[in-house]
Structure 1
Amino acid sequence: MTATQLRQWWADLLASFWLRPAVMTLGAILLAQLLVQSEGSLDLPAPLDGWVYAGGTSGARDVLGVIAGAMIGVAGTTFSITVAALTLASNQMGPRLLRNFTRDPGNQYALGALVATFAYSLVALRSVHEAEGGDFVPQLAVSVALLLAFGCVGVLIWFLHHVATSISVERVVALVHGDLSAALTALPRGERPADRSGRAEAGLHPAGETAPLRAPGGGYLRVLDDAALADWAEEHDATLCLRLRPGGFVFPCSVIGEVAPAGAQGEAQAALGRAMSLGDTRSVEQDLEFAVRQLVEVGLRALSPGINDPFTAIAVLDRLGAALCDLAGRELPDGHTVRGGRLRVVRPATDYPGLLDAMFHMLRQNGAGQPAVMIRLLEVLAEVGAVERDPDRRQALYRHAALAREAALAGTDDTAARAAIEERHARLPAALGMIAPALASRPRHGAA
Structure 2
Amino acid sequence: MSRTQIGVRMRDSFWFLPAVYSVLALVGVSIVNGLDTWLIPLVEGSVPSFFFMEKSAAQSMYGSLITSLLTMTTISFSTIMVVLTTYTTQFSPRTLQDFMKSNITKHVLGVFSYGFVFTLVNLLLLGSEGDKQFIAPFLTVVVAIISLGFFILFIHHSSRFVQVNKLIGKIRTDASALIENTFRTKSYTEAAEWNEEEIQEWQQHAVYSVKSKHSGYLQGVDTANLLAFAKKHDILLAASFQMGDYIQKGAPVFYYWKKEREEGEEEELEDCTNYIMIGNERTDVQDIEFSIQKLVEIAVKAISTGINDPHTAVNCINRIGSLLADLGAVYEPIRYYADEDENLRFMMEPKKFEDYLYMSFYQVRLYGKKDLTVMDSVLESLYKIAIVHHGEVKEDTWTFAEYIIESTNVEEMHELDFKRFYETCKKLADECGKDLPFENVRQGSA
TM-score (normalizing by structure 2)? 0.86
Deviations 1:102-131 (A, max 9, x none): 111111121122221111111222233334
- Tell me the residue number matched to 1:444: none
Is this contact kept in 2: 1:238–1:259, CA < 8 A?
yes
Aligned length: 428
Read off the aligned partner of 2:134 and give its amino acid letter. Answer: Q
Give the counterpart of 2:115 among 114, 117, 126.
117
The SS at the match of 1:436 is coil
Is this contact kept in 1: 2:54–2:133, CA < 8 A?
no
Deviations 1:399-443 (A, max 9, x none): 222222223335952322221111001011333xx3224x869xx
Is this contact kept in 2: 1:127–1:138, CA < 8 A?
no
Read off the aligned partner of 2:272 and give its amino acid letter. Answer: L
Read off the aligned partner of 2:147 and give its amino acid letter. Answer: C
Give the counterpart of 1:141 among 125, 136, 139.
136
Deviations 1:229-286 (A, max 9, x none): 4455455554333211221111111123433358648168424223222222223232
Is this contact kept in 1: 2:192–2:334, CA < 8 A?
no
Cα distance in 2 between the residues matched to 1:195 and 1:140: 63
- Tell me the residue number matched to 1:12: 9
Read off the aligned partner of 1:427 and give its amino acid letter. Answer: K
- 1:17/1:373 Cα in 2 relative to 1: closer, same or farther (>3 Å)? same
TM superposition shift of 1:29 = 2.6
TM superposition shift of 1:153 = 2.3
Cα distance in 2 between the residues matched to 1:327 and 1:106: 29
- Tell me the residue number matched to 2:372: 371
- Tell me the residue number matched to 1:354: 355
Q: Which runs of 5+ in 1 are unaligned?
A: 442-448
- 1:72/1:118 Cα in 2 relative to 1: closer, same or farther (>3 Å)? same
- 1:227/1:268 Cα in 2 relative to 1: closer, same or farther (>3 Å)? farther
Give the counterpart of 2:175 among 173, 180, 193.
180
TM superposition shift of 1:351 = 1.6
- 1:158/1:212 Cα in 2 relative to 1: closer, same or farther (>3 Å)? closer
- Tell me the residue number matched to 2:87: 89
Read off the aligned partner of 2:137 and give its amino acid letter. Answer: V
- Tell me the residue number matched to 2:248: 251
The SS at the match of 1:377 is helix
The answer on 1:167 being equivalent to 2:167 is no
Cα distance in 2 between the residues matched to 1:237 and 1:147: 59
Cα distance in 2 between the residues matched to 1:426 and 1:308: 28
- Tell me the residue number matched to 1:60: 58
The answer on 1:423 being equivalent to 2:420 is no
Q: Pick which of 321-330 and 336-345 moved more.
A: 336-345
Cα distance in 2 between the residues matched to 1:334 and 1:51: 72
- Tell me the residue number matched to 1:300: 300
- 1:45/1:426 Cα in 2 relative to 1: closer, same or farther (>3 Å)? farther
- 1:412/1:266 Cα in 2 relative to 1: closer, same or farther (>3 Å)? farther
- 1:325/1:51 Cα in 2 relative to 1: closer, same or farther (>3 Å)? farther
Cα distance in 2 between the residues matched to 1:115 and 1:166: 22
- 1:123/1:230 Cα in 2 relative to 1: closer, same or farther (>3 Å)? closer
Cα distance in 2 between the residues matched to 1:114 and 1:97: 25
RMSD between aligned residues = 3.2
The SS at the match of 1:329 is helix
Q: Pick which of 308-317 and 266-275 moved more.
A: 266-275
The SS at the match of 2:132 is coil
- 1:28/1:211 Cα in 2 relative to 1: closer, same or farther (>3 Å)? closer
The SS at the match of 1:252 is coil
Is this contact kept in 2: 1:72–1:115, CA < 8 A?
no
Cα distance in 1 between the residues matched to 2:140 and 2:4: 38
Q: Which runs of 5+ in 2 are unaligned?
A: 439-446
Report 1:44-443 matches (<5 A). Answer: 53-131=51-129, 135-188=130-183, 196=193, 206-233=203-230, 238-261=235-258, 264=261, 266=266, 269-338=269-338, 343-389=344-390, 391-410=391-410, 413-431=413-431, 434-437=432-435
